[in-house]
């Protein structure tokens, strides 16, 4: 499977977008800027935020046990596929987790895809939620800087981006209750039918996954017929599977 960057919560219920006048508008109108959202998840309780790609490493933890608002920064361990079609590293900032959760996490710790990171918190807030901001590139400086409107904004080597330009919605993982008017792209889904291989050589496996035995290969331009799909894997014959991320659907 390609390293798609997916929305990091099982329920999307954005309570304030980056244009929100409650507290976020100065983030997007100051210099520099970022594009934060407040994620309330399924209800008023405490849901988890999850690792949105194959791997993210903790770069900094701030505020635990002090007067500062709790914040954690994570950077992808490899390049990800963004929803705008680009590829690169991603850095994500999460604010408001409680001390109890952040005390369990260490700088340098690596989370893997869909692994729980921390729960919604109220540190520096009046209700359980998570303030999330993300950008392209790697963690830089101390992870944030105060902008011209007095707000601390995320800093990365590639700059902060709107969340809908970064995160895909994986419909098998995330239920969308409210996007607060933001338009997110769905992660590519595959169906049975005819495909054309668009990579030089594509391995054929005995089952749906790279851990299974290689039983052959197909080459660029070759047409194949898929009669069963599991995730991003397609069956092209008895015990013959290929990754459809490297193929294009044709009539």
pLDDT digits (tens, 9 = 90+) for 120-145: 999 999 999 999 999 999 999 999 99
Q: In angstroms, rounded to a whole number, what is the distance separating the alpha carbons of residues 92 and 129?
A: 16
Domain boundaries, the chain: 11-178, 193-250
Residue 57 near residue 110 (C-beta atoms within 8 A): yes
pLDDT bracket for residue 158 (50, 70, 90): very high
Between 175 and 251, residue with greater pLDDT: 175
Give pLDDT, residue 231. Answer: 82
- Reading the block at residue 122, the tokens are 């109220």
Whether CATH 2.30.30.40 fits 193-250: yes
- Selected from 3.40.50.300, 2.70.70.10, 1.10.230.10, 3.40.718.10, the CATH number assigned to the domain covering 11-178 reads 2.70.70.10
Question: pLDDT tens-digit profile of 76-134?
Answer: 999 999 999 999 999 999 999 999 999 999 999 999 999 999 999 999 999 999 999 99
Half-sphere exposure of residue 88: CA atoms within 13 angstroms, side-chain side: 20
Q: What is the pTM of this model?
A: 0.87
């Amino acid at each position: 499977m390609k390293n798609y960057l997916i929305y990091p919560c099982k329920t999307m219920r954005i309570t304030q977008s980056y244009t929100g006048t409650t507290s976020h508008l100065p983030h997007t109108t100051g210099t520099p800027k970022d594009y934060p959202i407040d994620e309330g998840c399924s209800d008023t309780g405490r849901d988890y935020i999850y690792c949105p790609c194959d791997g993210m490493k903790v770069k900094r933890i701030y505020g635990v046990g002090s007067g500062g608002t709790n914040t954690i920064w994570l950077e992808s361990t490899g390049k990800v596929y963004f929803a705008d079609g680009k590829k690169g590293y991603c850095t994500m900032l999460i604010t408001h987790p409680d001390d109890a959760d952040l005390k369990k996490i260490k700088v340098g710790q690596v989370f893997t895809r869909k692994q729980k990171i921390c729960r919604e918190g109220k540190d520096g807030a009046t209700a359980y939620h998570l303030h999330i901001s993300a950008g392209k590139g790697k963690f830089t400086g101390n992870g944030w800087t105060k902008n011209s409107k007095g707000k601390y904004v995320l800093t990365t080597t590639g700059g902060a981006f709107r969340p809908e330009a970064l995160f895909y919605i994986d419909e098998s993982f995330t239920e969308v209750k409210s996007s607060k008017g933001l338009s997110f792209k769905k992660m590519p889904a595959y169906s049975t039918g005819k495909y054309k291989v668009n990579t030089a050589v594509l391995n054929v496996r005995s089952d749906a996954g790279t851990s299974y035995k290689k039983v052959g290969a197909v080459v660029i331009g070759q047409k194949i017929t898929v009669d069963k799909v599991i995730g991003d894997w397609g069956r092209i014959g008895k015990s013959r599977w290929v990754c459809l991320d490297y193929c294009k659907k044709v009539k």
